[in-house]
Amino acid sequence: MLETVNLDIHKPIIKKAQKGNPKAQKNLYELYAKAMFNICYRMMNNVAEAEDVLQEAFCEAFRKLDTFRFESTFGAWIKRIVVNRCINQLKKRKVELEYGDHAYKHELSEETIEDDSLMQVEKIKRAMGLLPDGYRIVFSLYLLEGYDHQEIAGILDISESTSKSQLARAKKKLLEIIKAGNFEYSTN
């Protein structure tokens, strides 16, 4: 017989935070801020903007904490708030996506996949920072945050095929940047 799995290991802290306990809210912030900042930074590509969006997202989460019903993990719930905040901020910035309803085909060769030097995490992080905003956002949402193309299309108000082509172009551009190997990246 299967046991019911506790969806959130931080349930006692969340319950206290829902009642307005500032220590519990601070504890939640400390537990999730780093992971949520990483999402903000990948999407915003700017430390100051990522910090601002993070703070706004946590303020919104604490205002809406009474709506959290433990139907998912707290991490998944706050991640959705963070991603939506990032998207809203980027829309204010009027990020341009290269629209196109055609799918861009780019196959990775076995040689490219096997080349360990191209897949070093730091190189990928730096190269991601050099991607155009539209590419980086779709790349982050799809490969790093786990959204599918239908969800991305809904979030960004684009077609699924545009999401797919943005991802393919992002991958191609990322490989070009990494192969060039002479990129500098600042943390803004």
Mean per-residue pLDDT for 20-44? 93
Question: Do the domain assignments include residue 129?
Answer: yes
Residue 40's nearest CA partner among 30, 55, 28, 27 is: 55
Mean per-residue pLDDT for 142-152? 86
Contact assessment for residue 45 and residue 129, using Cβ atoms and an 8 Å cutoff: yes
Question: Which residue among 92, 119, 138 closes a domain?
Answer: 92
Token duo for residue 187: 């943390």
Question: When comparing pLDDT for 85 and 107, which is higher?
Answer: 85
| Chain CA centroid to CA 130, Å | 16
Structural domains counted in the chain: 2
Q: Does residue 15 sit in the same domain as residue 88?
A: yes
Q: Does residue 20 sit in the same domain as residue 75?
A: yes
Question: Do the domain assignments include residue 103?
Answer: no
Burial code (b: 16+ CB inside 10 Å, e: under 16) for 65-80 equals beebeeeebbeebbbb
Q: What is residue 16's three-state secondary structure? A: helix
Structural domain boundaries enclosing 138: 110-180
Please write the tens of the pLDDT for every residue from 51-60: 999 999 999 9
Mean per-residue pLDDT for 5-22? 84
What's the confidence (pLDDT) of residue 6? Answer: 52
* CA distances (Å), origin 11, targets 59, 69, 74, 142: 19, 10, 8, 28
Please write the tens of the pLDDT for every residue from 92-134: 876 555 444 443 444 444 444 444 544 566 777 788 888 888 8
The whole-angstrom separation of Cα 23 and Cα 176 is: 47
Question: Do the domain assignments include residue 114?
Answer: yes
Q: What is the dihedral of CA 72, 74, 79, 85, to 10 degrees?
A: 110
Q: Does residue 48 sit in the same domain as residue 121?
A: no
Least confident of 7-11, 93-97, 152-156: 93-97
What's the confidence (pLDDT) of residue 187? Answer: 43
- In one letter, which amino acid is 145? E
Percent of the chain scoring above 90 in pLDDT: 39
Identify the band that residue 39 occupies on the pLDDT scale cut at 50, 70 and 90.
very high
Q: Does residue 77 sit in the same domain as residue 125?
A: no
Please write the tens of the pLDDT for every residue from 61-72: 999 999 999 888
Contact assessment for residue 101 and residue 162, using Cβ atoms and an 8 Å cutoff: yes
What's the confidence (pLDDT) of residue 59? Answer: 95
Please write the tens of the pLDDT for every residue from 174-185: 888 888 875 554
